[in-house]
Amino acid sequence: MNQLSFIKKISVLILCQLLFCQLAQASFLVEKQTLELESFNTTNGKTIPQVTLGWESYGELNADKSNAILITHYFTGNSHAAGKYTEDDVNPGYWDAIIGPGKAIDTNRYFVLSMDTLANVSAYSEQVVTTGPASINPATGKPWGLDFPVVTIRDFVNTQKALLDSLGITKLHAVIGPSMGSMQAIEWAVAYPDMVERMVSVIGVAQSDAWLVTGLQKWANPILSDPNWQNGDYYSSSAPLEGLTQSLAIITQEAMHPRIFNQLNPEHSALEQPPALDIRNNFKVVDWLYQAASKRATSMDANHILYLVRACQLFMAGHDGNLEKALNKVQAKSLFLPARGDLLLFPDMAKQAHKMLQSAGKSSQYTEITGDWGHLDGIYNVQQQADTLKQFLEQKV
């Protein structure tokens, strides 16, 4: 790295730090809570005993319990959607820009909830409480591994419903989620139509087509091919960290657009010497991506990635083989916010769901988020649609 680009990188880091601090200052303190279920029945007819899942809430539930908004998280995300854990926490929740007092999802008005999914990828993160293949199977006293049942988007919805039931909430003012969270939001509106008043799909799809299912397999394969994976039974030996790292590197790149990727690597040169001398030598940009992935891998579980990949692959809203019929059940008003530059979940897929809802006579809005991030514009640039979102949430149903 030359001096100029080093200075540039440092400047960007400082700017990010300042931005995070600002956000953190504007933010509020939150605490992780847990929901324990004695047993949970999956849509595939299996039973998982002793399910524990983390959740967070922001704002206060009103007297008639009519002001709840559920936020459903993305693939590598968790229930930390907003706020910070301590005063000096510099990383508020991922949608802190739109959730909080006076923000688009106004915690002065709404009681905002979010929950960790089953098999959340960050099994070893302090921020996450999940039950999945890395959890202890009470029947054996050992980690489940692949004996853990395959779970689906509907199962995630059903764990969230269990949380609402425990709180006595029978109506959602809205359910809102990005990416895999959007799958859950749409599923909510189809599965429990009389409970959902408003549905917001951010960078989402209503079904996984052949292209997406095959593309997601590309995320699973490095793990499946890692000799350490051992059919998922690696908990008493070495974890398949190499495969997990490769998987995360692919996920990270595919969630981005070339514009931001190239902006983040201004010093890249196609003519670097080491790669020209031996095909085993990497370009700096490849090392940059894989080193970041390797760091993230330490808090994640490889089997959990496989289970979430599978949950996303198995997704068709309503889970009954007919998307039109499923969307016809929706009673909620819908808002679709895809990202124009999304190369992972193309805006056309959100538009397809939006048009199917409109054709069925449902209320549906569609607006694209713009930016350089691609898919991640749904996380980093969502505040661009803060007004649209605020107005949508204030609409009468």
Q: Which active-site residues does the annotation give?
A: 179, 342, 375
Among 319, 329, 351, 390, binds a copy of itself (CB under 8 A): 319
Binding residue (CB under 8 A) for a copy of itself from 78, 130, 182, 208: 208
Q: What distances in angstroms separate CA 253 from CA 179, 256, 384, one per listed residue?
A: 15, 5, 23
Residue 302 as a binder of a copy of itself (CB under 8 A): the answer is no
Closest of 110, 94, 73, 114 to residue 27, by C-alpha: 94
Beta carbon nearer to a copy of itself, 10 or 211: 211
User: Which segments of the chain are extended strands (E)?
Assistant: 33-41, 47-58, 68-71, 99-100, 105-106, 111-115, 136-137, 142-143, 174-178, 198-202, 333-337, 364-366
The answer to whether residue 193 forms part of the interface with a copy of itself (CB under 8 A) is no
Does position 154 interact with a copy of itself (CB under 8 A)? The reply is no
Min separation Cβ 226 and a copy of itself, Å: 7
The verdict on 343 binding a copy of itself (CB under 8 A) reads: yes
Out of 31, 64, 210, 236, the only residue in the binding site for a copy of itself (CB under 8 A) is 210
Residue from 86, 270, 361, 396 touching a copy of itself (CB under 8 A): that is 270
Instruction: Say how far apart CA 345 and CA 292 lie, in whole Å.
Output: 23
Integer Cα distance of 345 and 182 in angstroms: 11
Return the amino acid letter for 219. W
The smaller minimum CB distance to a copy of itself, of residues 86 and 273, is found at 273
Choice from 306, 327, 337, 350 touching a copy of itself (CB under 8 A): 306
Q: How far is the CB of 217 from a copy of itself (least distance, A)?
A: 5
Q: Which stretch binds a copy of itself (CB under 8 A): 31-39, 172-180, 302-310, 325-333?
A: 302-310
For residue 45, count CB atoms less than 10 angstroms from its CB and return exposed for 0-12, middle for 13-18, buried for 19 or more: exposed
Burial per residue of 280-293, b for 16 or more beta-carbon CB atoms within 10 angstroms, e otherwise: eeeeebeeebbeeb
Nearer to a copy of itself, 264 or 386 (CB): 264
Give, in order, the Cα–Cα distances in Å from 217 to each of 203, 212, 214.
20, 9, 5
Restricting to residues 20-79, name those near a copy of itself by CB under 8 A: 44
Is 352 exposed, middle or buried (CB count within 10 Å of its CB: 0-12, 13-18, 19+)? Answer: middle
| 337/329 Cα distance (integer angstroms) | 21
Which CB atom, from 203 or from 316, has the smaller least distance to a copy of itself? 316
Q: Which of these segments, 185-193, 264-272, 293-301, 328-336, binds a copy of itself (CB under 8 A)?
A: 264-272
Interatomic CA distance for residues 382 and 82, integer angstroms: 13
**CA torsion through residues 390, 394, 396, 397, sign:** positive
Is 286 a binder of a copy of itself (CB under 8 A)? yes
1 binds a copy of itself (CB under 8 A): no
Can you read off the two tokens belonging to residue 221?
A: 């394969």
Interaction mask 221-260, a copy of itself, x per CB under 8 A: xx-xxxx---xx---------xx--x---x--x----x--
Q: Determine if 120 is a binding residue for a copy of itself (CB under 8 A).
A: no
For the chain, the distance separating the N- and C-terminal CA atoms, rounded to the nearest angstrom, is 56
Asked if 141 is part of the footprint of a copy of itself (rule: CB under 8 A), the reply reads no
Residue numbers at the binding site for a copy of itself (CB under 8 A): 44, 146, 150, 152, 207-215, 217-218, 220-222, 224-227, 231-232, 242-243, 246, 250, 253, 258, 261-262, 264-265, 268-271, 275-280, 282-283, 285-286, 289, 306-307, 309-310, 313-316, 319-321, 343, 346
